[in-house]
Amino acid sequence: MLVNATKMLRDAKKGHYAIGHFNTNNLEWTKAILTTAQELNSPVIIGVSMGAAKYMGGYRVVAAMVREMDKGLGITVPVALHLDHGNYEAAKACIEAGFTSVMFDGSSLPFEENVAKTKEIVALAHEKGVSVEAEVGAIGGTEDGITADGEVADPEECRKIVDLGVDFLAAGIGNIHGIYPEGWTGLHIDVLEKINEATDYIPLVLHGGTGIPDNQIRDAIVNGVSKINVNTDCQLVFAEATIKYCAEGKADPTAANAAKGYDPRKLLKPGYEAIKAKVKEKMELFGSVNKA
């Protein structure tokens, strides 16, 4: 059954571990995330960006796919379906479409507008039992074609947003989406400590989970991070495994004719397995195994 993300993240905060948020892009991705969570007895958050949802045919398609696959595969661990970096319209649409959790990302707006819109989304979401993530201080890097410089959030602004009743908060601490550039100076754990205190210890979210050294991930969890977003890592291993399969000639219609290696269920299997291995590695690092 799909649940909102509030309880799983509060439990994670209390237990000093983090829940993985893995972005989905299609059916293979969704199945890999769900089955791995079940095998490891771990709660999980399936994240969907506005661009990925559009690619798959819209928010209702995604909600139906995740909900029905969760049932069809007999998944019993807690699963939240979460909009990633949604604008105001997307957050409203996902609340209506049956998502159990939404992120309203008003970090690119003037702060007062971020406050006003976050407040509206919190009211709409909570009426339907949907959890809300807000953002203060933009995350750097590029996602869905939108590039932002990494910002470090102001703990005072974080407190003001949290006071609106949001369930968990993404606060920039030098983290970046995608591959970290050469010379990246690392997470600002000192600022994270201050944000944790200023926000009364609600669960905090670390975006840009790909490429952060393991020791910094552990430091972030110790200092209040309970949700870690991972996208690029799964994309990289999926691409690598698929390229390898093709390079070995396994999809070649003449050479592989007898084995029908071009059948999409075979062609996409190495990538599917690679995502499963990456999700497992992250769940073990984040400490969410056997926490369902």
Q: Does 232 bind ligand 13P (CB under 6 A)?
A: yes
Give 85 or 251: the residue with its C-beta nearer to ligand 13P.
85
- For residue 2, give the amino acid letter: L
Q: What separation in angstroms does the CA of 168 have from each of 111, 163, 210?
A: 18, 11, 20
Q: Which two tokens stand for residue 258?
A: 């007898």
Q: Is 225 one of the binding residues for ligand 13P (CB under 6 A)?
A: no
161 in Cβ contact with 118 (< 8 Å):
yes
Of the candidate spans 52-60, 106-114, 226-234, 236-244, the one that interacts with ligand 13P by CB under 6 A turns out to be 226-234
Nearer CB in complex with ligand 13P: 70/233: 233
Instruction: Pull the structure tokens for residue 5.
Output: 């993300």
**Closer residue to ligand 13P in complex, CB, 43/261:** 43
Candidates 12, 102, 230, 241: give the one binding ligand 13P (CB under 6 A).
Answer: 230
Which of 103, 168, 108, 164 is CA-nearest to residue 137?
A: 108
Of positions 178, 219, 266, 269, contacts ligand 13P by CB under 6 A: 178
Q: List the catalytic residue out of 11, 70, 84, 105.
A: 84
Question: Is position 278 an interface residue for ligand 13P (rule: CB under 6 A)?
Answer: no
Active site residue 144: no
Q: Which of 177, 194, 276, 291 binds ligand 13P (CB under 6 A)?
A: 177
User: Minimum distance from CB of 235 to ligand 13P (Å)?
Assistant: 7
Contacts of 277 (CB under 8 A, 6+ apart): 237
Tell me if 155 sits within 8 A of 198, measured CB to CB. Answer: yes
Q: Which of 24, 100, 210, 223 binds ligand 13P (CB under 6 A)?
A: 210
Cβ pair 98, 60 in contact under 8 A: yes
Stretch that binds ligand 13P, among 64-72, 215-223, 225-233, 241-249 (CB under 6 A): 225-233
CA distance 41 to 264: 29
Q: Is 207 in the site for ligand 13P (CB under 6 A)?
A: yes
Residue with tokens 């990246």: 184
- Among positions 70-129, residues that touch ligand 13P (CB under 6 A) are 84-85
Q: What values do phi and psi take at 255, rounded to 5? A: -65, -40
Q: How many CA atoms lie within 13 A of 55 on its CB side?
A: 10
CB of 191 within 8 A of CB of 173?
Answer: yes
Nearer to ligand 13P by Cβ, of 196 and 235: the residue is 235
Binding to ligand 13P, residues 8-67 (CB under 6 A) = 23
Q: Closest approach of Cβ 209 to ligand 13P, in Å?
A: 5
Strand partners, 79: 2, 44
Interface contacts to ligand 13P, rule CB under 6 A: 23, 84-85, 177-178, 207-210, 229-233
Residues designated as active site: 84
